[in-house]
Amino acid sequence: MVFLPVHADRDSGKVKIPHTMNDKPSSQPAPSPVRADSTDTGLGIVVIDDVLPLDEQQKIHRFLLDGPWSYGWRSNSDDAAQKFWHRHFAGAINDPGAEDKAQQRVADCSGELMNAAPLVHSFWQRLQKKIFQDHVLSRCYANALPYGVEGATHADSPIPGDCTAVYYPHESWHPDWGGETLVFNQDCSDILTAVYPKPNRLFIFPGFVNHAARGVSKSCPHVRITLMFKTTRKRP
């Protein structure tokens, strides 16, 4: 697994991005990788490649493809936000634009996830053991964006310590297909970085980070599917 930290400053909205996100060897000395057990996921952005063994990735992908999906979810409460396909597995299902996010994040929904989707729960257990030791699962769901649908810019939570992990389950992806996750500065006036939906990649970021899912291109033969784990820090 490759850990590439991108540190985010909540007050300024600035994000320090590595010069490269390329796995290929470089002639320059590479920085030491961030260990999963030492990454502070409440303060930085992390991209992890090859997060699951190939057979588990394929199982997750096929499970998500099989549905059932429901239509009508939006990235935020703005009337202009486009609707897309959604699968809820566990946790609060309030409108993403609701103001009572503190109430939504209280409960640990891992037990609910185990009953609803054991395969996804097994994935969460792996993540909690290696990365989210000090966090509990507050919500788990999947989104699907077909051609012609774009995600709206939003932040998931203003609560310090809350994180979102986005998993890209597709078995293949082409650069011409689009579907990147864009990260914006605090006032959403500029793009800070783009995360390519590389198969078997996990993208972790603080809940306060503004982001949006870009739609797929006309040449893309697939619906863009992502699996999300939202977490909050354990209480003392």
- pLDDT tens-digit series, residues 197-231: 999 999 999 999 999 999 999 999 999 999 999 99
CA 187 to chain centre: 21
Helix (H, G, I), strand (E, B) or coil at 141: strand
Does residue 77 lie within any of the structural domains?
A: yes
- Both tokens of 164, joined, read 């979102």
- In this prediction, residue 151 carries a pLDDT of 86
Q: Indicate which CATH number applies to the domain containing 74.
A: 2.60.120.620
Does residue 92 lie within any of the structural domains?
A: yes
pLDDT interval class at 34 (50, 70, 90): very low
- In this prediction, residue 74 carries a pLDDT of 67
Length of the chain measured in residues: 236
Instruction: Please give the Cα distance from 190 to 214 (Å, whole number).
Output: 15
Question: CA torsion sign, 91 to 140 to 131 to 120?
Answer: positive
pLDDT interval class at 48 (50, 70, 90): very high
In the chain, the number of structural domains is 1
pTM of the model: 0.79
Does residue 155 lie within any of the structural domains?
A: yes
* Range(s) of the domain holding residue 121: 2-6+40-233
Q: Name which residue leads in pLDDT, 100 or 46.
A: 46
Does residue 31 lie within any of the structural domains?
A: no
Contact (CB, 8 A) for 119 and 58: no
- In this prediction, residue 106 carries a pLDDT of 55
Instruction: Please give the Cα distance from 110 to 97 (Å, whole number).
Output: 23
Does residue 20 lie within any of the structural domains?
A: no
